[in-house]
Amino acid sequence: MKKLLFLLCAVWTAGATDAAAQRQLIDIHTDDVSLILRAAPGEEVQLLHFGGRIEDPAPLMAYESYRHPGHNTEDVAYPTFGGRNYHEAALRATHVDGDLNTELKYLSHETQRLADENVTLTTIHTTDAVQALDVDLVYTAYARENVITTHAEIRNREKGTVILHSFYSSALPLRAEKYLLTHLHGAWTHEAQVEHTLLTHGSKSISSIRGVRTTHAENPSFMLTLGSDRFDEASGEVVAGTLAWSGNFRLNFELDECQVLNILAGINPEGSEYRLHRGETFTTPEMIYTHSFEGAGGASRNLHDWGRNYGIWNGHTPTPTLLNSWEGAAFRFNARILTDMIDDAAAMGLEMFVLDDGWFGNKYPRNNDKAGLGDWEVNREKLPEGIDYIASYAHDKGLKFGIWIEPEMVNPKSELAEKHPDWIVRTPKREAPLTRNQLLLDLSNPEVQDFVFGVFDRTMQLSEHIDYIKWDANRCANSIGSSYQADDEQAHFWIEYTQGLYKVMERIRAKYPDVLIQACASGGGRVEYGALKYFDEVWTSDNTEALTRARIQYGTSLFYPALVMASHVSVTPNLQTGNVTPLKFRFDIACAGRMGMELQPKHMTEEERAEARRAIEAYKEYRDIVMQGDLYRIGTPYDEDGCYAIAYVAKDKRRAVVFAYSLRYQSRTVPVFRIPGLDPATQYTIREVNIDKPRYWFEGRSFNGELLERAGINPNFSRIYDSAVFLLEAGDGR
């Protein structure tokens, strides 16, 4: 017996030694970031490093964690439920024979540079030690943007159906003394509020189970400041991540007894059990990561660059300035009201007019939100001239034209609901709950996908002069039930609804690649890179009040570039908050994103119209810097002194635009704004725009970038709503 035990030990030792000899490093990197893994046949894939670039990672081949084998696994790339893993699993499955365990072992990997030489793709092949279940871990590295994305492809080769309980896109272990989590929270009209939490041992999750319009309360994005409990714009080590998925999501942060933070990110597993049939592959959504030694600002700029270059449809084509009809006309309009608004928009220098809700429905006319949704026929009583008349009128005035649709939803009082009750998301014998007097169509059903595509397609056929579609979605998914899904696969709805939306958008973009499309979703409901793969911009919030927008736009900017942030000037008192703000302050806030207007111009005074023309003209002068420049946040709108600024710096550092705001009464305090991101040796001439006469001592003077960063400028703000926009241009100056 002793001799047999000795032989078994010898064989195990020889096998372990042989595996160790075959270990290799998998070095995935960008210009400044490295993700380094270690693998050997028959072993789990370990993740050794995610952070700053390591030019020569070879010494990490000998890395030892000294973790006791009885205390948990090593830091693996994709932890599973089974083996020694005590953490929440990235993959938890029930195999065909009832086996609850999965242990993924390395098979091979390959790395290829894509046609775009900035991008490399690495695929790591793994399989379960016992069952015929394979998982490919796919990493895409974007060199210049310093972004690495990752997803998993789960393939069933077993003799029946495997049940997936959890199937995250990625797992990322991090090691630091402290972890400060920064994330967004909020509610409708109060989105993208920033919260900082110093993580303690145990788990914290950021999640949504709303199915549709998922980002009002939470956003699938985060920043982690490593080794510090202080959030800093310009310094410190930061890891940022954001999930490209428009459905239920979950980000889980588990700080273990070894002081390792284990991050899981992907589709929310709650209620989403997925039956993977034999021969099928399930592909998880993309998780997007970056790393910065330049604080939160550096992480944001990386994500903004990646978004514009790879994550946003037409990421280098800004949406025109526009007048939207909603807050100016709502459901009450006719052709004359709309053409008058177009005349006023053209006179103020705007570039597009958008007709919002209320233009459709005949049997059930869309005169309020209680009827007509789903019946996409032009309302003959309101617009007997048709949509082409309005769109052509806009084009004749030199404006582009856009129109509103909400194709995923339906009013019970509609011809569509009468004709296709089977298309509505509901469970037999249960009443479908109403939100905004509407129900949800089942986009997991291919027939509904055809209908939704048809809504877009037929709307585009209303006129050859339609340039822009505002795609709204005004409710979440709840009390779900699908007549299309099998009885034992009802949980598939949560995933297949989102996949159905993407299938529709793929068809739309194949036919209409140049049409501008906004993801509205009640404002702030689809602010994530899954939607932005198909949309040009998002409606940042239904709240257009400028003071509140300062925080909403600040939070959004942590992860998403100004290019996608639609921001409108609206009436006072504001319809959401009742607040009264000066017109200049409203413009100076809106011009930090994609500026537009949402009011009835006829209610403006001549002075206000002139002020609007001036602000719009100024915006066009520097808009390219806002849309494509590097963002530097100067303070935050949460700071106690109530002063906040942002700077957009052109890529060549020859121009910059600075927005400065006073968000509270300053008394005798004069704020100082130090402007980062400029070339230290370049002379910049400062000119305030959106004013009728100079106001500050530094107007027209030139200073080098070093002085502007270290000494700054001091506009004499004293009251709440004081604001200024400064254009900096390289030149000799005086």
Please give the C-alpha separations between residue 388 and each of 115, 124, 356, 509, in angstroms, as whole numbers.
42, 53, 15, 22
Question: What is the band of 725 on the pLDDT scale with cuts at 50, 70, 90?
Answer: very high
Q: Look up residue 566 and give its two tokens.
A: 């639609």
Question: What is the band of 19 on the pLDDT scale with cuts at 50, 70, 90?
Answer: low
Please give the C-alpha separations between residue 345 and each of 220, 226, 321, 348, 530, in angstroms, as whole numbers.
37, 49, 10, 5, 33
What is the phi/psi pair of residue 420, to 5°? -130, 65
pLDDT in tens, 416-446: 999 999 999 999 889 889 999 999 999 999 9
Closest CA to 727 of 629, 613, 636: 629
Asked if residue 598 has pLDDT above 80, the reply is: yes
Amino acid type, 330: A
d(CA 635, CA 551): 12
Instruction: Give the pLDDT score at 84.
Output: 85
Q: How many CB atoms lie within 10 A of CB 330?
A: 15
pTM: 0.96
Residues linked to residue 174 through DSSP beta bridges, in sequence order: 261
**Secondary structure of residue 670 in the 3-state scheme:** coil
β-pairing verdict for 162-167 and 274-276: antiparallel
Which residues lie closer than 8 Å to 4 by C-beta, 6 or more apart?
none
Asked if residue 74 has pLDDT above 90, the reply is: no
**542 tagged catalytic:** yes
Query: What is the residue-wise DSSP string for 376-442?
Result: -SB-TTT-TT-HHHHHHHHHHTT-EEEEEE-TTEE-SSSHHHHH-GGGB---TTSPPPPBTTBEEB-
Considering only 160-164, 331-335, 674-678, 730-734, which range has the smallest mean pLDDT? 730-734
Q: Look up residue 403 and give its two tokens.
A: 């129109």
Instruction: Considering only residues 15 and 528, tell me which one the structure prediction assigns the higher pLDDT.
Output: 528
State mean pLDDT over 318-333.
97
Q: Look up residue 617 and give its two tokens.
A: 């003209």
Q: Are 218 and 208 within 8 A, CB to CB?
A: yes
Question: What is the band of 369 on the pLDDT scale with cuts at 50, 70, 90?
Answer: very high
**442 tagged catalytic:** no
Question: What is the band of 71 on the pLDDT scale with cuts at 50, 70, 90?
Answer: low
Asked if residue 617 has pLDDT above 50, the reply is: yes
Asked if residue 654 has pLDDT above 50, the reply is: yes
The radius of gyration of the chain's CA atoms, rounded to the nearest angstrom, is: 28
Instruction: Give the pLDDT score at 432.
Output: 87
Asked if residue 615 has pLDDT above 70, the reply is: yes
Asked if residue 8 has pLDDT above 60, the reply is: no
State mean pLDDT over 570-596.
97
Q: Which of 442, 467, 542, 630 is catalytic?
A: 542
Asked if residue 83 has pLDDT above 90, the reply is: no
Handedness of CA 481, 483, 487, 492 (dihedral sign): negative
Asked if residue 15 has pLDDT above 80, the reply is: no
Strands annotated E in 58-117: 91-94, 104-113
Instruction: Give the pLDDT score at 17.
Output: 55
Q: Are 625 and 656 within 8 A, CB to CB?
A: yes
pLDDT in tens, 217-242: 999 999 999 999 999 999 999 999 99
State mean pLDDT over 186-196.
98
pLDDT in tens, 440-471: 999 999 999 999 999 999 999 999 999 999 99
d(CA 419, CA 430): 20
| Mean pLDDT across the chain | 95
Q: Are 637 and 644 within 8 A, CB to CB?
A: yes
Q: Which of 472, 536, 630, 722 is catalytic?
A: 472
State mean pLDDT over 87-95.
97
d(CA 252, CA 207): 8
Instruction: Give the pLDDT score at 7.
Output: 33
Counts of helices then strands in the chain (DSSP H, E)? 13, 36
